[in-house]
Every structure is written in C-alpha cells, then in structure tokens.
C-alpha cells in the first residue's frame, strides 16, 4: 500500500510544523507548504516534500495545485492550517488589514480547497481538516475581525461538509484553544498599535494583560497535531474537535446565558 498523502499548509511554524512532523512519523507522505522555505528545512530533512505557497495569492495556489496533481493526482488529505491573527478595536482597525486577514484565513483557505477538491471528489474519497479556533465559537473584545475570519471558516466548513458527503469527501474542523506558537508574536505589532488609540487604550491594555496571562498556560502545538491526526484518521470523524488550553470555554459560552457570558469576558478584558 502506498503511504497516504497529505498537504499541510502553514508548515513552517507552530501547529503546522508539529502536524507535518507527527504525520511523517506516522508514515504519511507529507507535502509541507508555506512562504518561508528555509524554515521548513528541518521538515525536509525528515522526509517532507517542501513547497512554496502564499495562500493569499491565486497564482501561488494554482502552481502548488498543479505540482501536486502532477506528483500524486488526488491527495488523500488536506490540512488547511495557514493563518494569522489581527487585534484592534473594530472602530479603528483599518479595513485593508481586515481584508488582508480574510485573504489568508478565509479566501486563501477556500481558494486552495477549490484547487485541490476536484481530484478528491472525482476519486470519491478524501478528508479536509480546517483550522478554526475557539475564536470561531465565541469572540472577545479586540478580536472581532480574527473571530469573524474563524466564524467564516466554521460556516464554510459546515456547508462543505454537507455538500461533499455524497462524494465521499469528509470535512472536519479543529478548534484549538491557546497554543504556544509564533501566533502571539505575529499578532504583537497590531496589539502594540492598538494601544495608541486613546479611546480604547484602556480596553486594549486589559486585552493584552489577559492574553499575556492565558498564553502563560498555553498548550504545546503537539497537542493540536495529535488532534489533527485523529481528525484525519477517525473512521467516522466528528464535525468538530476542540483541543488545548481554554478550549472548554466553548462549552461554557454555549451553556451560559449571553448576558452572564458577556459579564465574564468583560471582567477579564475591558
Ligand atoms: P504560527 O504563526 O506559528 O504559524 C502560522 C503559519 O501560517 C506559518 O507557517 C506561516 O508560514 C503560515 N502562513 C501565514 N500566512 C501565510 C500565507 N499568506 N501563505 C502561506 N502560509 C502562511 O501560528 P499557529 O501555528 O498558531 O497558527 C496555525 C493556525 O492555528 C492558524 O490558522 C491560527 O489561526 C490557528 N490557531 C492558533 C491558535 C494559537 O493560540 N496559536 C489558537 C487557535 C487557532 P509563513 O509565514 O512561512 O508563510
């Protein structure tokens, strides 16, 4: 039996790198994609086939899909992990930054899926794992656009799961909590910038304090990688898999009345 094939996007760091490594150990043929090729050299040394991808760029997505089709035809699995965060009050966060965020987290994810799905559908099998977040289930102050991008991932994944059921392709969402990766470092310039806005500076200081506090308990990316492996291999996968520090907050946010939940969030973040 040939090794099952998987493309992991955002494999140059954090969750994507840990996932690619774990899947290589488990015997998968792993295609690892991101913009920073040099950061994926350790994965290449372990046997990953490293590929350049800017997921927000149509041409880059198309070239990657052509190369993959030439190599393997249809993939067995696609892990749509590439993504990043933006922080800032909704009143002031420039829309071009929100659009750039959606170009990666939403349109990039769906654009790549559109390129790779036809081969899976025609073969009648495949699995797509989309990285959402606890921010795809409840949103906190200062994270409105990031949350909106992950709510969009949730909605698109629900629709895709229903549309593809008849074709043998399953769609799964993984929802990490707070994970120790470069994510907070990548967010930090927008966090710093948001502190300079006088109207919201006190709220954003509270947001930063809360982030600093929760990230001290962050789970290792391997915990998410193990969950992604489960999502890829469960014979009858769930629609959603929660994992990592603070992920139980999703259950609490659903059980508590909105006014009470708002109060809990506001105490910590305003
Ligand atoms: P990292 O910053 O460590 O990794 C992000 C990865 O995404 C990098 O490999 C980066 O590669 C890639 N990426 C970003 N922009 C692009 C782009 N335009 N094209 C291709 N790749 C891109 O963060 P995480 O590992 O934490 O993030 C992975 C996913 O997990 C994201 O979708 C994030 O939203 C989600 N998540 C993270 C949580 C956390 O607490 N860390 C919690 C919940 C969800 P490169 O720069 O080389 O292109």
pLDDT in tens, 184-219: 999 999 999 999 888 999 999 999 999 999 999 999
pLDDT in tens, 111-125: 999 999 999 999 999
Dihedral over alpha carbons 190, 208, 185, 213 (to 10 degrees) = -170
Centroid of ligand 1 to alpha carbon of 104 (angstroms): 10
49-52 and 77-80 as β-strands: parallel, antiparallel, unpaired?
unpaired
Which residues approach ligand 1 with their CB closer than 6 A? 9-16, 34-36, 39, 53-56, 81-84, 104, 131, 133, 176, 178-179, 181-183, 186
CATH fit for domain 5-269, picks 3.40.50.970, 3.90.1150.10, 3.40.50.300, 3.40.50.720: 3.40.50.720
SS3 (DSSP) at 197? coil
Centroid of ligand 1 to alpha carbon of 204 (angstroms): 23
Residues 253 and 266: their CA atoms lie apart, in Å, by 13
Q: Which of 53, 84, 190, 191 best tests ligand 1's pocket when mutated (most atoms within 8 Å of CB)?
A: 84
**168 vs 3, 115, 222, CA distance in Å?**
19, 17, 29
Dihedral over alpha carbons 213, 270, 179, 238 (to 10 degrees) = 140
- The average confidence (pLDDT) of the chain is 97
Q: Comparing 150-154, 162-166, 194-198, which segment has the lowest mean pLDDT?
A: 194-198
């Amino acid at each position: 039996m040939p090794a099952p094939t998987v493309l992991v996007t955002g494999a140059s760091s954090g969750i994507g790198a840990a996932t690619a490594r774990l899947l290589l150990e488990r015997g998968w043929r792993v295609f690892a994609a991101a913009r920073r090729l040099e950061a994926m050299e350790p994965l290449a040394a372990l046997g990953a086939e490293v590929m350049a991808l800017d997921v927000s760029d149509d041409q880059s997505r198309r070239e990657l899909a052509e190369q993959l089709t030439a190599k393997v035809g249809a993939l067995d699995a696609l892990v749509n992990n590439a993504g990043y965060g933006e922080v800032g009050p909704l009143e002031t966060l420039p829309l071009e930054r929100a659009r750039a965020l959606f170009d990666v987290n939403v349109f990039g994810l769906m654009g790549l899926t559109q390129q790779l799905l036809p081969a899976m559908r025609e073969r009648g099998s495949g699995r797509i794992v989309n990285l959402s977040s606890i921010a795809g289930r409840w949103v906190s102050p200062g994270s409105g656009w990031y949350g909106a991008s992950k709510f969009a991932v949730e909605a698109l994944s629900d629709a895709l799961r229903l549309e593809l059921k008849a074709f043998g392709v399953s769609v799964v969402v993984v929802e990490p909590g707070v994970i120790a990766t470069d994510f907070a470092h990548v967010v930090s310039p927008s966090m710093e910038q948001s502190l300079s806005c006088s109207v919201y500076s006190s709220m954003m200081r509270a947001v930063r304090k809360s982030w600093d506090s929760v990230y001290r308990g962050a789970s290792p990316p391997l915990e998410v990688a193990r969950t992604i492996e489960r999502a890829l291999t469960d014979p009858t996968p769930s629609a959603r898999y929660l994992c990592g520090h603070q992920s139980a907050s999703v259950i609490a946010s659903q059980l508590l009345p909105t006014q009470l939940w708002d109060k809990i969030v506001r105490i910590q973040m305003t």
